């Protein structure tokens, strides 16, 4: 097993030494592809950040709208309760006469 590993290591060194000139363009091409992949990933991250920001804005708007609706409903209920109390008091006063 050690002999096989040693032979493989020597073969790798030999191939690297013989093919060193040919590997430079391949390395440059791989670096270019890696740079393109990094740029694409950065663009995807920017797009995701924009979507998160838009979702946060929509959530804030929905929360504000829900708060306003709840306040309006509470005001309407309070007004209705006051009107009902006034009507009950008026009816009681009429019945007492």
Confidence at residue 75, expressed as pLDDT on a 0 to 100 scale: 92
Q: What is the pLDDT along the chain (97 residues), one digit of tens a residue?
A: 666 776 777 777 777 666 655 556 767 777 888 888 998 899 999 999 999 999 999 999 999 999 999 999 999 999 999 999 988 888 888 877 6
CA–CA separation, 44 vs 54, rounded Å?
15
Q: What's the predicted TM-score (pTM) here?
A: 0.49
pLDDT of 91: 84
């Amino acid at each position: 097993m050690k002999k096989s590993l040693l032979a493989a290591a020597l073969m790798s060194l030999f191939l690297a030494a013989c093919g060193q000139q040919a590997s430079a363009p391949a390395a440059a091409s791989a670096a270019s592809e890696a740079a393109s992949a990094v740029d694409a990933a950065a663009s995807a991250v920017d797009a995701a950040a924009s979507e998160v920001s838009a979702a946060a804005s929509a959530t804030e708007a929905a929360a504000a709208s829900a708060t306003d609706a709840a306040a309006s409903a509470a005001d309407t209920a309070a007004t209705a309760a006051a009107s009902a109390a006034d009507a009950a008091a008026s009816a009681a006063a009429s019945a007492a006469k």
